[in-house]
Amino acid sequence: MFKNKTLKQMVGVSIFTLAAFGATSIANAANWRYAHEEYDGDVQDVYAYKFKEFIEENSDHTLQIFRFGELGESDDIMEQTQAGILQFVNQSPGFTGSLIPEAQIFFIPYLMPTEMDTVIEFFRESKAINEDFPKLYAEQGLELLQMYPEGEMVVTVDEPVTSPADFDGKKIRTMTNPLLAATYEAFGATPTPLPWGEVYGALQTNMIQGQENPIFWIESGGLYEVSPNLVFTKHGWFTTASMANKKFYDGLSEEDQKLIQDAADFAFEEIIGHIDGLAEESLAKIEEASDNVTVTRLNDEQVEAFKERAPQVEEKFIEMTGESGRELLNQFKADLEAVTGE
Ligand code: 6CS
C-alpha cells in the first residue's frame, strides 16, 4: 500500500516534471523567419530547406522560409533583416555590393577559377571568405553564416557573342552593384542594372539584349525562352551568402548560436552535392525544351580578349573600396594561389 502510494506519488511527480519541462522547452522554442532570392527547388531554396531541416531536427525551434517575391525584391528582404523583422536572409553579393562595396570582389572578371572542385576548396579554405568577410558584414549589422557558390556565370544574348566588339551597342542587364556594371563596360557592352523581377520582361520587350546567370537559373527562370544564345565566357561564378541579423544572433544562447553555425555548415555540404552536375542537367533540359538555343564556348584566344580587360575592373574595385579593398583583394589572391598552386 505504502509502496503503491509512493509509486503513485512518483508517477505524479514525474508527469508533473515532464509537463513543466515541456512547457519550458516550448516557451523557449522560437519561430524564426528566413527569406531568400530564388524559387521552389533553386539552389538558395535547397540551402534554406536544409538549414531548416537541421534547425528543426536538432531543437524545438521552427523556421519559416519566404521565397523570391513573397516579401519583395532582394533589397527589401535585406532591409527587413537589418530592421530585425526577419532573423535570416540569403542575399547575393550582386546586391549586397551596394551595401558592402568589398562584396563586389566577386565581379572582378577572371579572378575566380572555373573548375568546380577548385572553387569549392577555395570557399572552404579561404581566409578572405571565412575571416575577413564576416567582419565587413558585421559592420552592417549582419552575422555572415556562409558564402557559397551556385554555378558558373553564363551570358545569354540576342545573338552569339565571341569578342568584346560583338557586345557593342548591346544593353546587358547586371545585378545592382556598380562594379559589375564596370565589368560589362570593360567587355564592350552597355550595362543596365536591374532588380531580378524586371529581367524577363525587359528581355522579352528587347529593352535589354542580354544578361548573365548560372545555367540552373537560366533554365528555371525560363530566360532561354527570351534570350536564347548562351555564351560560356569563363569569367566568374555566381556566389551567394546566408546571414543573420547580428543583434538577434548576439542575443542568442551559445547553444543556439552553435545550432545555427552547425545548420549553416550542414546546408553548405548539402549544397556542394546539389550543384555537382546541376549545370549539365540544366543545359540538357534547356536543349530539350528549345530548338532556338545556341551554345558558344569561347576558346582560349577569345577568352583572352575579354580577360585582358580585367585589370581595369580590378583598378575600379580598388578605387571604390580603398585600402580595405586592396587588402581583401591581396588576401583573396593569396587564398586562390593556395588552392590552385599558381
Ligand atoms: O540574377 C539575379 O538577380 C538572380 N540570380 C540568381 C542565380 N539568384 C537570385 C538573383 O536574384
Judged against a pLDDT cut of 90, whether residue 8 lies above it is answered with no
pLDDT value at residue 27: 60
Mean pLDDT, rounded, for 242-255: 98
Strand pairing report for 88-90 and 142-157: unpaired
Q: Encode burial over 2-34: b for 16+ CB neighbours within 10 A, e otherwise.
A: eeeeeeeeeeeeeeeeeeeeeeeeeeeebebbb
Q: Is 77 in the pocket of ligand 1 (CB under 6 A)?
A: no
What interhelical angle do 116-125 and 310-340 show, nearest 10? 80
* Residue among 155, 203, 217 whose CB has most ligand 1 atoms within 8 A, to mutate: 217
More confident residue, 8 or 138: 138
Instruction: Give the pLDDT band (50/70/90) at residue 341.
Output: confident
pLDDT tens string 55-65:
999 999 999 99
Ligand 1 atom index nearest CA of 175? 3
Residue whose CA is at the smallest distance from ligand 1 atom 9: 37
Judged against a pLDDT cut of 60, whether residue 21 lies above it is answered with no
Cα 93 to averaged position of ligand 1 atoms, centre (Å): 10
Q: Is 45 in the pocket of ligand 1 (CB under 6 A)?
A: no
Cα 91 to averaged position of ligand 1 atoms, centre (Å): 9
Cα 306 to averaged position of ligand 1 atoms, centre (Å): 23
Residue whose CA is at the smallest distance from ligand 1 atom 4: 196
pLDDT value at residue 28: 84
Average pLDDT, the chain: 93
Judged against a pLDDT cut of 80, whether residue 104 lies above it is answered with yes
CATH architecture of the region 4-100+113-150+240-278: 3-Layer(aba) Sandwich (3.40)
Mean pLDDT, rounded, for 145-154: 98
- pTM (2 d.p.): 0.92
Which residues of the chain does CATH 3.40.190.170 include?
4-100+113-150+240-278, 154-236+280-340
The hierarchical CATH code for the domain 154-236+280-340 is: 3.40.190.170
